[in-house]
Structure 1
């Protein structure tokens, strides 16, 4: 467990410098646009020839109830992260709620394949380490496109990797189970994003950038900065 927590401990030591650096560099939303566009094109090609065909195959062989069960299982796994981050944010009530969802769905919901907590009135409210950094006053930093992992900000990218390496799969003794979980998670997310592809128009890079930043802002504050339309699926926040 200590091995998985090392990224968090390391980040805590660098936090003052990270905050100051983000504030200094964040002069515009996208100061690294030239580099970001090249990485975006690489990711687009990788998606077209690898991830998207794999996601379509996954969707084809998975019955809808099984696909929903996998999505529930993944969401339940990350209740642990939500609990952990709510504690770091000083929100013990929300942490207890996430812990309750995890306990109920893991036991009564067949290891999380069924979401029985929501009908019982235990609502799903996600939290991640990027949100924790926001709560601690760390600036957003510039928009950045990561190879394979896609659109982020410096703050949300930092949070993503901390969340990944402090998630339950990262504690697995046999690493292949963690890798299998992350592969299935990527396929499940890509299937979800197929529904949004028809919305893409104009400059794909600009569209995806604006959509990501708006959805992230909505996740953190519950507010939308301009008129860009955001569709929520229930109360679930979908990262992309």
Structure 2
């Protein structure tokens, strides 16, 4: 464990020193009018329920339409044809959303650009693998309490294989050689398995879209995360922040593109989050064993 702590601290220290003086970058020219029209058309296609392809510096990805599930909707008394999600904390959520966007725009997005410029993609991939590996014991505990014992066994096998053969998780032979796919499970996922409802939509400072169940999961996992057992504060906090920042950097361009082209960014990201949760819930229920 002491070796693991020293390894993770070395990774974080290398990142900080590399980004201390990021190379000067040319100012990105303004988007041509034709490009803006194309992006606006994509937003309209999403609103119409169509899947679109978004191109970023990280490649291309398909974005599913954000359609709020009917079980979460109410009919507006003013415009009876409009359907909207009941968002009791919308005022507070919008304020936090605006704060987050300001923080992203002036701190995290420029830092993510510098990070991706300095650190090669292959190195970022290995860093992500290492952090995913150290999380496996938490996945194991959550899957066990959810009654997902096969998945918990997979978590154990992945942790043993990737920590040893995979050099502390830098590589993923558990997937590549043994077909043990990741089985991530959060406290929120476990609570949902026990029919604990998600609660109202909630935007968390820095972390973004969530709900009351997700907020409880975030706080709980901050205490239970295995990093706390291999590093002492403040190093453990720094490692957790670096883990989150590494994840954020891979999504930075997508966030920037979608925010700039959404008519109401708050509603767009809220509905995307809600719809994603509904798809996960449907997928989970479809994969539950059926009683004879």
Deviations 1:173-213 (A, max 9, x none): 52133122112112212112124232442211011111112
Q: 1:67 to 1:139 in 2, by over 3 A?
A: same
Q: Please say if residues 58 and 187 of structure 1, whose CA atoms lie closer than 8 Å, have aligned partners that are also in contact.
A: no
Q: 1:161 aligns with which of 219, 222, 225?
A: 219
Q: 1:29 to 1:131 in 2, by over 3 A?
A: farther
Q: Which runs of 5+ in 1 are unaligned?
A: 1-25, 224-240
Q: 1:185 to 1:98 in 2, by over 3 A?
A: same
Name 1:152's counterpart in structure 2. 210
Higher strand share: 2
Which deviates more, 91-100 or 193-202? Answer: 193-202
* 1:139 maps onto 2:200 in alignment: no
- C-alpha separation in 2, matches of 1:218 and 1:102: 28
- C-alpha separation in 2, matches of 1:214 and 1:74: 27
**Secondary structure of 1:78 counterpart:** helix
- Residue 142 of structure 1, CA deviation: 0.2
- C-alpha separation in 2, matches of 1:129 and 1:221: 19
- C-alpha separation in 1, matches of 2:222 and 2:258: 29
- C-alpha separation in 1, matches of 2:239 and 2:132: 12
Q: 2:237 aligns with which of 173, 179, 184?
A: 179
Q: Please say if residues 143 and 152 of structure 1, whose CA atoms lie closer than 8 Å, have aligned partners that are also in contact.
A: yes
Q: Please say if residues 169 and 177 of structure 1, whose CA atoms lie closer than 8 Å, have aligned partners that are also in contact.
A: no
Name 1:189's counterpart in structure 2. 247
Q: 1:216 to 1:192 in 2, by over 3 A?
A: farther
Q: Please say if residues 130 and 159 of structure 1, whose CA atoms lie closer than 8 Å, have aligned partners that are also in contact.
A: yes
Q: Please say if residues 151 and 209 of structure 1, whose CA atoms lie closer than 8 Å, have aligned partners that are also in contact.
A: yes
* 1:222 maps onto 2:279 in alignment: no
Q: Which runs of 5+ in 2 are unaligned?
A: 1-72, 75-84, 285-292
Deviations 1:77-108 (A, max 9, x none): 22121111011111111101011111111111
From the CA coordinates, give the structure whose radius of gyration is larger.
Answer: 2
Name 2:36's counterpart in structure 1. none
* 1:52 maps onto 2:109 in alignment: yes
Q: TM-score, normalised by structure 1?
A: 0.77
Q: Please say if residues 112 and 252 of structure 2, whose CA atoms lie closer than 8 Å, have aligned partners that are also in contact.
A: no
Name 1:94's counterpart in structure 2. 151
- C-alpha separation in 1, matches of 2:280 and 2:242: 24
**Secondary structure of 2:174 counterpart:** coil
Q: TM-score, normalised by structure 2?
A: 0.64
Q: 1:123 aligns with which of 181, 195, 198?
A: 181
- C-alpha separation in 1, matches of 2:278 and 2:134: 24
- C-alpha separation in 1, matches of 2:183 and 2:234: 29
**Secondary structure of 1:68 counterpart:** helix
